[in-house]
């Protein structure tokens, strides 16, 4: 079997429908109108094709995939890891790859696993060593008690309260009160603007009282020493890692025991094999995995299910349940949450295919985000400064009960 071609299919993700309590502050789709999905098809001379997905700036990843394609034509697609290393070495002259390179490698490698599974008549999780579980628990996003209860009605046992800029402790407390002790609550503090370590610690001490499952991205990902300060100061689990690519990018989070949960993004971590290796390294440190999926499309979601099924230290999978109706239309079959879980596919390969005609109806327009001055991402009056991080000045009104 030989590779004969590589196709890229890029689309602009539509705006989210009006869902009460979804809690986005950056435009109708939660990403400032910038959200794109990049799908890839790898073709072979035996009529078998594989599908993959790459994130990490999809419009730019598309160019990287098309460049990588020159190294793939004529190769046997079943040599998955060897071809990954061929591509990785082929681009090393450009410097460290980052998430753009990781996204391109992820999309292609995902498609190679899909081909191999189809050729052997086996689901990918079977090729990864078999499965520990046939259902993967998911968690959803909510900023209001009403939205949290809607997720609970779907059987979902985990709710994440996410913020851009400052964390609203009262909002977290309201969600915790609404879901009771039977549902896990997580807090995502990702910027920009990012908190300083001091502010992240102050917020974290308040969150300790709310019995949260983890405190995600409390400081900027470039500042691992600050993450270590936060970890040492708090008695709350820490999660991070969605913005890094490859095993080497995740390595310091694991080896320095900076986190309790790693969150590789299936579309930019570097591929299924890279995520499997991350999970194994994390297992040695008693760290669990909860892959990021907040901006991904459905193909990467399928890939995450195969990885999560095959590792012992799977925690749960992020799922934006109602992000865009097109999610269920651009692939077949569509994933459906049942009793708070996604079923692990049993079909050969990844178990999903692209609906090319539907994808073509949504051409890409742009892929960079805007951050409006909405009083959430930035300190009041500072949005035009475009600060990457900020010290929170109005601490008293942001921290629940501190002055009561």
Number of domains in the chain: 2
- Strand ranges (DSSP E) for 114-221? 135-141, 158-162, 184-188, 194-195, 215-216
324 and 266 within one domain: yes
CATH number at residue 229: 3.20.20.120
Residue 46 is encoded by which pair of tokens? 């035996």
CATH number at residue 118: 3.30.390.10
- Centre a 10 Å sphere on the Cβ of residue 255 and count the other Cβ atoms it contains: 11
307 and 235 within one domain: yes
Range list of H helices, 16-79: 58-68
Task: Sort strands 135-141 and 288-289 into parallel, antiparallel or unpaired.
Answer: unpaired
197 and 102 within one domain: no
154 and 73 within one domain: no
Q: Are 224 and 256 in contact (CB under 8 A)?
A: yes
Q: Can you give the length of the chain in residues? A: 404
81 and 160 within one domain: no
88 and 152 within one domain: no
Among 220, 229, 187, residue whose Cα is nearest residue 206: 187
What CA–CA distance (Å, rounded) separates 204 from 196? Answer: 12
Digit-by-digit pLDDT tens for the chain (404 residues) are: 999 999 999 999 986 444 444 333 343 345 557 899 999 999 999 999 999 999 999 999 999 999 999 999 999 999 999 999 999 999 988 888 889 999 999 999 999 999 999 999 999 999 999 999 999 999 999 999 999 999 999 999 999 999 988 899 999 999 999 999 989 999 999 888 999 999 999 999 999 999 999 999 999 999 999 999 999 999 999 999 999 999 999 999 999 999 999 999 999 999 999 999 999 999 999 999 999 998 899 999 999 999 999 999 999 999 987 788 899 999 999 999 999 999 999 999 999 999 999 999 999 999 988 776 666 788 888 888 989 999 887 665 555 555 44
3-state class (DSSP) for residue 283: helix
**Domain membership flag for residue 389:** no
**Domain membership flag for residue 366:** no
**Confidence (pLDDT) at 166:** 84
**Domain membership flag for residue 36:** yes
**Domain membership flag for residue 357:** no
**Domain membership flag for residue 173:** yes
**Domain membership flag for residue 50:** yes
What CA–CA distance (Å, rounded) separates 59 from 16? Answer: 20
Query: Which of left, alpha, beta for 71 (phi over 0: left; psi -120 to 50: alpha)?
Result: alpha
Q: Is 292 a catalytic residue?
A: yes
138 and 15 within one domain: no
**Domain membership flag for residue 29:** yes
Q: Are 275 and 290 in contact (CB under 8 A)?
A: no
What CA–CA distance (Å, rounded) separates 57 from 61? Answer: 6
**Confidence (pLDDT) at 342:** 97
Q: Considering 122, 143, 163, which residue would you say is the last residue of a domain?
A: 122
149 and 100 within one domain: no
pTM of the model: 0.93
327 and 266 within one domain: yes
- Catalytic entry in 9, 31, 49, 292: 292
**Confidence (pLDDT) at 398:** 55
293 and 170 within one domain: yes
Helices (H) and strands (E) in the chain — how many of each? 13, 16
Q: Three-state SS string across 74-93, please?
A: CCCCCCHHHHHHHHHHHCHH
219 and 345 within one domain: yes
Question: Domain limits at 181?
Answer: 126-350
**Confidence (pLDDT) at 25:** 34
**Domain membership flag for residue 393:** no
What CA–CA distance (Å, rounded) separates 221 from 239? Answer: 11
196 and 263 within one domain: yes
**Confidence (pLDDT) at 399:** 56
């Amino acid at each position: 079997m030989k590779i004969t071609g590589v196709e890229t299919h890029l689309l602009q993700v539509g705006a989210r429908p009006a869902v009460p309590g979804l809690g986005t502050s950056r435009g109708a789709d939660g990403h400032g109108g910038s959200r794109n999905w990049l799908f890839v098809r790898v073709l072979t001379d035996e009529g078998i094709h594989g599908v993959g997905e790459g994130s990490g700036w999809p419009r730019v990843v598309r160019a990287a995939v098309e460049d990588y394609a020159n190294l793939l034509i004529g190769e046997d697609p079943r040599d998955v890891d060897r071809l990954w290393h061929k591509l990785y070495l082929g681009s090393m002259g450009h410097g460290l790859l980052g998430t753009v390179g990781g996204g391109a490698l992820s999309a292609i490698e995902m498609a190679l696993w899909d081909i191999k599974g189809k050729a052997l008549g086996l689901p990918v999780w079977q090729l990864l060593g078999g499965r520990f579980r046939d259902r993967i628990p998911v968690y959803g996003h909510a900023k209001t008690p009403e939205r949290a209860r809607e997720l609970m009605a779907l059987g979902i046992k985990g709710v994440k309260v996410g913020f851009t800029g400052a964390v609203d402790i009262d909002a977290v407390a309201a969600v915790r009160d609404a879901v009771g002790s039977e549902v896990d609550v997580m807090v995502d503090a990702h910027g920009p603007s990012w908190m300083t370590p001091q502010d992240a610690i102050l917020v974290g001490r308040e969150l300790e009282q709310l019995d949260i499952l983890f405190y995600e991205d409390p400081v900027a990902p470039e500042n691992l020493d600050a993450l270590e300060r936060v970890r040492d100061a708090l008695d709350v689990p820490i999660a991070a890692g969605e913005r890094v690519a490859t095993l080497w990018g995740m390595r310091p989070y694991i080896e320095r025991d900076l986190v309790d949960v790693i969150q590789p993004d299936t579309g930019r971590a570097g591929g299924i094999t890279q995520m499997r290796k991350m999970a194994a390294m994390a297992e040695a440190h008693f760290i669990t995995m909860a892959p990021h999926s907040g901006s991904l499309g459905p193909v990467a979601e399928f890939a995450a299910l195969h990885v999560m099924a095959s590792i012992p230290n799977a925690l749960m999978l992020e799922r934006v349940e109602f992000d865009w109706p097109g999610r269920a239309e651009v692939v077949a079959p569509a994933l459906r949450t049942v009793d708070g879980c996604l079923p692990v596919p049993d079909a050969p390969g990844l178990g999903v295919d692209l609906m090319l005609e539907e994808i073509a109806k949504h051409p890409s327009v742009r892929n960079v985000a805007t951050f409006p001055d909405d009083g959430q991402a930035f300190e009041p009056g500072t949005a035009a400064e475009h600060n990457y991080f900020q010290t929170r000045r109005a601490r008293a009104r942001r921290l629940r009960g501190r002055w009561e």
